[in-house]
Amino acid sequence: MKRRAFCASALALASTGTSSLRVLAASSVSSEIPIIRGDGKQATLTASDVADLKGTLRGELLLPSQSGYDQARKVWNGAFDRRPALIARCVGAADVTQAVTFARAHNLLVAVRGGGHSLSGQSVCDGGLVIDLSPMKSVHVDPIAHVARIEPGVLLGDFDREAQFFGLVTPAGTVSHTGAAGLTLGGGYGRLSRRFGLACDNLIGADVITADGRYVRASEQENPDLLWGLRGGGGNFGVVTSFEYRLHPVAPMMYGGRMMFSPKDTPDVLRFFAKFAADTPDELYIDGALVVVPNMGRVMVFDVCYSGAVQQAERVLEPLRHFRKPIQDGLAPTTYVTLQASGDGGSAAGRGYYERSGFLRGIEPGLIDASLAIMDEPGAVGELVFWQHGGAASRVKPDATAVWHRDAARSLLVDADWDDPHDERARDTAMQWARATWHKLEPFTDGFYVNTMAGDDPHQRVRSTYGGNYPRLVKLKGQYDPTNLFRLNANVPPSSTG
């Protein structure tokens, strides 16, 4: 059974002359290399331009004809089968600086890739340059200062494992193969965010290569405005080559796992859950999902993590556990690292994913009725997730970081996926279901989490979700990226262009 399979879009951004480019790109590494510029227009590079870039890099520069190219252009969401003109596999800040400088000089369309999990597929592009940071994987934990420094290709599982070795943690995500870089820059909700805030709230420093190829340090002491923007403003301001986080001590054992309730009990359990989850301690993370299980029907599934004392966990969860008898109860003492990997299988790389989402202030009766009705229809091919936020993440002031909607209690996720990303019929069925479902449920939401952006989310949505922070983000963008070199993201155009 799949679970919390974060999804993404097969659309958007792809309207950049893909098919003609594909023919040209496949034709060979001739003296003229077709590229797509930042403004979407086609142009060419010479072989000598490319050789110059290659000569400056310590990492590989991959072109379509080279071995390793097809592997390197793959991203988590199989719905995006894009063919960049160049992939710079950066191994350090010097490589990143060279790649950024080259992109700017040649006006290239640029995608920046950390862990490659962008739901909207924006870390790969057709015809442009991918600045691929995935080879940069070091994690350094200072167990005395409670600080970690990681490179931008680090996945959450690597980070958690190193920090947990010292009994420490930074809240970051719920699936261990997600990239820490993109997750942090967009905000970063994790199983421990109700206790310790978002990943971006724990970001205390960053090394950034800006659009003009400059190295800039962002911290509370140096360029604090930039740090503010990196805390939720996405990849708008430059390429981050190093992230520094505050760590928190946690007990070695936590309590959690999955619980499932029968189709018969699901409506009552969802209504009970709406009240139960509105008032839980910060130690408890619990998200609920309506999922269709073959030969069974629509069921309610919970993903639980309690990070306080085990006896306390059992007391806190007792009302939900005993309201109705679960048909599956996997709650038990376990490690944080185990819980963090528990959803990995349900969101395997390479399948097709599409997701729409929005913040909720609560789970109101109208939303419950509409959700149950949707999941009871015979054509329900996806799942609805009530993803928990709140706690410490909500106690940060809306203008303290770029993340504006601090009062969000949850996100509602409408997820659809399909096994074979090349199966157009399956894709259309999944996407149509998700869009129709979103159309019915969007009125219950207000704002959305930029890291769950779909490729076909309108720009206006990005603008409104940044709320009162938007003007400051535009100003910062004008300062650090006035030509919008970094545009493949939840884009905040500089005032001159948008």
Ligand X SMILES: Cc1cc2nc3c(=O)[nH]c(=O)nc-3n(C[C@H](O)[C@H](O)[C@H](O)COP(=O)(O)OP(=O)(O)OC[C@H]3O[C@@H](n4cnc5c(N)ncnc54)[C@H](O)[C@@H]3O)c2cc1C
For residue 317, the 8-state DSSP code is H
Nearer to ligand X, 176 or 266 (CB): 176
Closest distance to ligand X from the beta carbon of 137 (Å): 12
Least Cα distance to 133 among 244, 241, 230 occurs for 241
Q: Are 303 and 287 in contact (CB under 8 A)?
A: yes
Closest distance to ligand X from the beta carbon of 69 (Å): 18
Nearer to ligand X, 197 or 326 (CB): 197
Residue in the structure block whose two tokens are 């142009």: 43
Closest distance to ligand X from the beta carbon of 469 (Å): 18
Nearer to ligand X, 112 or 290 (CB): 112
Nearer to ligand X, 368 or 386 (CB): 386
* Nearby residues of 318 by Cβ (< 8 Å), 6 or more positions away: none
Please, which residues bridge with residue 37 across strands? Answer: 108
Q: Which helix (H) or strand (E) holds 416?
A: strand 410-418
Alpha-carbon dihedral angle through residues 69, 72, 76, 77, given to the nearest 10 degrees: -30
Binding site for ligand X (CB under 6 A): 6, 76, 112-119, 122-123, 133, 152, 173-175, 178-179, 181-183, 185-190, 234-235, 239-240, 347, 451, 488-489
Nearer to ligand X, 175 or 381 (CB): 175
In this structure, are strands 42-46 and 203-209 parallel, antiparallel, or unpaired?
unpaired
What is the C-alpha to C-alpha distance for residues 96 and 93, in angstroms, rounded to an integer?
5
Closest distance to ligand X from the beta carbon of 181 (Å): 3
Nearer to ligand X, 117 or 248 (CB): 117
Closest distance to ligand X from the beta carbon of 318 (Å): 26
CA distances from 485 to 238, 290, 493 (A): 9, 40, 10
Closest distance to ligand X from the beta carbon of 217 (Å): 14
* Nearby residues of 375 by Cβ (< 8 Å), 6 or more positions away: 290, 292, 298, 384
Closest distance to ligand X from the beta carbon of 57 (Å): 17
Nearer to ligand X, 118 or 280 (CB): 118
Q: Are 188 and 115 in contact (CB under 8 A)?
A: no
Q: Degrees (nearest 5) of the Cα angle 359, 453, 238?
A: 115
